[in-house]
Structure 1
């Protein structure tokens, strides 16, 4: 027979002590180019950050399989992962011939792979991030380019020939198809219009929350400093996005594509170029004992904003 009085003396076991979870951090890297064996081996060294989030800012590779390799490792190591496409994800490789997805279909193929892993893309709603340095709204975008990053004296119809004068032509001209659009410029225009509507709605809905704008291509031409191949700028963005950091209340803008790591401050917004690059481009880092973990960029909380007058470009040769 159950004794009611004894029930009052029963106690619930004390749960084991769990240390408080610190607010998560936000990291980013781009241009890991998994078509290179050395970069695939480097990715395998990625360390666990179970409380942190990671942005993959484009150019993980050219195929759905490259995406799966990147997404599997990233989601194994991080709490939440974000991805935006670069030009390489959009390629239809010659080996695929007529069987390969082209243009918008190739992009959506990558989006579907991302969804298999629970990764957020430009096709998802922007995410309120409340970790260390937040709250912020993470806004993955896809804008492409329209050949407008060129000197004023070079007309659009002469732009490709202008680049070819220096033996420069992006592989995009042969592998990045604009289907169903008639040109990459038309596709870019449609993407920019779509993205502007989405960013405007986000700012209207969250007027007091700053954005983290995440896109593979730089938003501003003045951040495209290609010392060895300056005329490659044609394939690096669109002038239509130059004022987006102000227009859409951006705390930080993250990009890749250039394979030249740097941090800049413009109008109080921090701009981060977070490329890893081809193996030969970061060999010097490896020779110094660094690996992919050292080349992850801490986005939030990130560095303190320097005082006015001291906001010079930080060149991040070693991450």
Structure 2
């Protein structure tokens, strides 16, 4: 049977404006870094993307190197688009990125105009698209002039291959410089994608101020700290967990007794709020309205349901916020 999305999907989701732009993003977006590559089942990927859209998640985040192997996440998403979502393309925000290694030779990574334009052309072909909604430079290039990289992003928008541009993993200082160049070119930076969680708060030290001043939105990845801020590690490291095997997200030596004690205390507080630990962690990164969207990863449909349910309780009392700070400071 042909896929038909839930008719009430937009009634369930909260949407936030990205900076001072005209674009709104769902408070929870779906990332396709892992579990959507060549080593994963297409039907499981289809089920997760369809369920996400049913819940009002309109933003699907990819990159040229997502998989594994690199490129395969875009290929799988292209199949899902063709099979299920082609009729709803204008309801979707699809993003991709370039910056990490993709092919041999001197033009296969970083931030040259040559690499960025070529990479996006490859991404569009893999997904079967004429354009993406957001195209990011995935990481700063220490050798290519920032002016060249930003001019390439401007060029891509003027070509009609992307509607908006963004930055990822840029520091506060780098973001301010890049934003100024993009404004001068006439293609302002829409959004920044940094890592952010209770255990990783670097964006509070300057970057959020730059984003607010320049009217740039933010979508944060790893809001659950690679899975630490879930119930998976309350009793140690399970053998079938990310940290229990070869993972790029989480290493077992990151899970100290001190951190486990914090996780258990945070879990108790989440239970008092009527939430899972993951739900409270997502609500926490969205607190105060500084973060436009929290980017989640999932390996099964149930995780998406649980994460989106966090939006039913986004408020924190002053006492709860103080208790969280005390737990994290121990």
TM-score by length of 2: 0.44
Q: Which has the larger Rg?
A: 1
Q: Give the number of the structure whose residues are more often helix, by fraction.
A: 2
